[in-house]
Chain A
């Protein structure tokens, strides 16, 4: 029985999987476009899935023994495969239409604040709506809003952006001894919160930021510091007594702006060699914001089509290229040192070391090199 393999065909591609595998896991073995998008399912979290309905697929043939198609679209994250099952994902118009509908439902109450949101650029909902959503909304009513909440010293909760995927609740249940936050109220009022504003206090609670598919739970130490596509992801590790210490640093120059766990192509935290998930502890995530704390392994391989890879130059030469000196026989004359004039990236304002988001008092006017008009007058 244990050696038995089930043959399942997804979008005319056949794959053999062990019994008990869900359709989405089988699709991930194939990879590529046939993988249904998932918002709530997270393979590293037990019991997740079945809530968002983005992974709906059509089962056109139930199994070898019972070839009748399933009457309705099924959630692929919760449906296990049967031998001889035939599944239609992107080849079914019904599925694509359903995904569009689900996306519209998820976006009903989701604010259009991507320009402000720190998750923009690595947001699952943004990707989903880009691929499957309609260009405009048909919703005329007032959107559900909540006050933003600080849960713990490091985590910012924007309940308005939450899609109630429950991933963070499962993370807290499975990674920490005692869960302190959960879903309060019901239906349209339901909200992720801590009971009576209690702060989350656990060494592994920072992982809720990584599992959040939207910008509802964000890193307060990175809040508004930079956009993810301007930071450069670098794989690094350190000898951490509590966790594996294998992380991804999001750097700009030599500054470490953000530390996250390493994520795979489905946005899930990677597995270690021993099969465990490489969750990282709060010390690694929030307190080690200097290059000297880490052993840098090298730049992360980012998909060429991802916004994260924009403006990152492969094989860029550090320091001054020697070629020009050889050709002209002397050092090139520097006509403008941008750092003397530019107000951005001032050495005295170290954004990555500021605890929370920067405020107006972090940028004092006397640190400015003056406006263009003032400089222009000086130059005259």
Chain B
């Protein structure tokens, strides 16, 4: 080592100048709850089940999302629409039960791609965390978007 290296002062000064320089640079983080980063347009978050303009459920329980799902997270049971239920379901067959196991889901978006009825979408919401495993079994009622007409009348 030379004398200049032995006294360490130049090296320390160099290091401190780098640290000080960062004070004036743009911050890499945001103050999260107040400030949120914009999502990428292709972000795949929590699933929603869509309704049509009249508020009828679009899902017809065709099972293609469950078939496409590589994690086998989606399960469903279908039922036939009865006369008088036309305002609830779009097609003559509908999903009576629809469940996504979010512990299994890998948010690949294959279900969205497979859906022939534009019923399932991955929204721009991050999956909320919870202390219990039970919480992560999402039922149809949890996934359905609010009824457009009922929501209007409530406001």
Neighbour of A372 across the interface among B76, B93, B142, CB < 8 A = B142
Are A359 and B80 interface neighbours, CB within 8 A?
yes
Contact A345 B79 (CB under 8 A): no
A342–B63 alpha-carbon span in the complex (Å): 17
Q: Is A6 an interface residue (CB 8 A)?
A: no
Across-interface contacts of B142 in A (CB, < 8 A): 371-373
Task: Find out whether the CB atom of B67 lies under 8 angstroms from the CB atom of A363.
Answer: no
B21 to chain A minimum Cβ distance, whole angstroms, is 46
A323 at the interface (CB under 8 A from B): no
Pairwise interchain contact B137-A342, C-beta atoms closer than 8 A: yes
Give chain B's interface residue range (CB within 8 Å of chain A).
35 or more
CA–CA, A54 and B97, complex, Å: 40
Chain A residues near B82 (CB-CB < 8 A): 359-360
Interface check A100, CB cutoff 8 A: no
**Chain A contacts of B96 at CB under 8 A?**
358, 360, 362-363
Distance from A133 Cβ to chain B, minimum over Cβ atoms (Å)? 16
Tell yes or no: A77 within 8 A of B by CB. no
Residues of B close to A223: CB separation below 8 A: 80
In angstroms, Cα B101 to Cα A341, docked, is: 10
Given A338-B101, A360-B79, also A379-B116 (CB < 8 A): no
A344 to B66, CA, bound (A): 13
B129-143 vs A, Cβ < 8 Å mask (1 yes, 0 no): 011111111110110
Q: Does B99 contact A (CB under 8 A)?
A: yes
Given contacts A115-B91, A376-B135, contact A227 B62 (CB under 8 A): yes
| B48 interface hit (Cβ, 8 Å) | no
B86 at the interface (CB under 8 A from A): no
Cα-based distance from A335 to B103 in the complex (angstroms) = 12
Cβ contact within 8 Å between B80 and A345:
no
* A-side contacts of B139, CB under 8 Å: 343, 368, 370-372
* Shortest Cβ gap from A130 to chain B (Å): 14
In the complex, chain A residues whose CB is within 8 Å of the CB of B134: 336, 341, 375-376, 378-379
A307 to B67, CA, bound (A): 9
A 12-53 contacts with B by CB, 8 A: none
Which residues from B are CB-within-8-Å of A380? 131-132
For B143, the closest partner residue in chain A by CB is: A372
Residue of A nearest to B74 (CB): A344
Once A115-B62, A120-B62, A227-B62 are accepted as A-B contacts, the answer to whether A344 and B80 lie under 8 Å apart by CB is no
In the complex, A157 Cα to B139 Cα: how many Å?
33
Query: Do A341 and B63 touch across chains, with their CB atoms under 8 A apart?
Result: no
Contacts A229-B63, A360-B96, A376-B130 given; does A341 touch B137 at CB 8 Å = yes
Any A CB within 8 A of the CB of B72: yes
Within 8 A of A (CB), among B48-71: 60-64, 66-67
Minimum CB–CB distance from B49 to chain A (whole Å) comes to 13
Interface residues of A in 260-308 (CB under 8 A from B): 307
Please tell me which one of the listed residues B99, B116, B135 contacts residue A344 in the complex, with CB atoms under 8 A apart: B99
- Residue B85, interface by CB 8 Å: yes
Output the nearest chain A residue to B72 by Cβ-Cβ distance.
A311
Min Cβ gap B2→A in Å is 58
The answer to whether A116 touches B92 (Cβ under 8 A) is yes
Point out the residues of chain A lying under 8 angstroms from B131, CB to CB: 379-380
Q: Which of B64, B75, B134 has the most CB of A within 10 A?
A: B134
Q: A344–B77 contact, CB under 8 A?
A: yes
Q: Within the complex, what minimum Cβ distance (angstroms) separates A117 from chain B?
A: 9
The answer to whether A230 touches B66 (Cβ under 8 A) is yes
Min CB distance B58 to A, Å, is 10
| B105 is an interface residue with CB less than 8 A from chain A | no
Q: Which of A227-269 contact B (CB under 8 A)?
A: 227, 229-230
- Knowing A115-B60, A115-B62, A115-B91, the reply to whether A363 touches B79 (Cβ < 8 A) is yes
Is the CB–CB distance between B141 and A225 below 8 Å?
no
Which residues of A lie under 8 Å from residue B135 when comparing CB positions?
372, 375-376, 379
Top 5 nearest A-B pairs by Cβ distance?
A379-B132, A115-B62, A357-B80, A227-B63, A376-B135
Q: Which residues of B contact A (CB under 8 A)?
A: 60-64, 66-67, 72, 75-80, 82, 85, 91-93, 96-97, 99, 101, 103, 116-117, 130-139, 141-142
Q: List 12 A-B contacts (CB under 8 A).
A: A113-B91, A115-B60, A115-B64, A116-B60, A226-B63, A307-B67, A311-B67, A311-B72, A338-B137, A357-B79, A360-B79, A368-B139
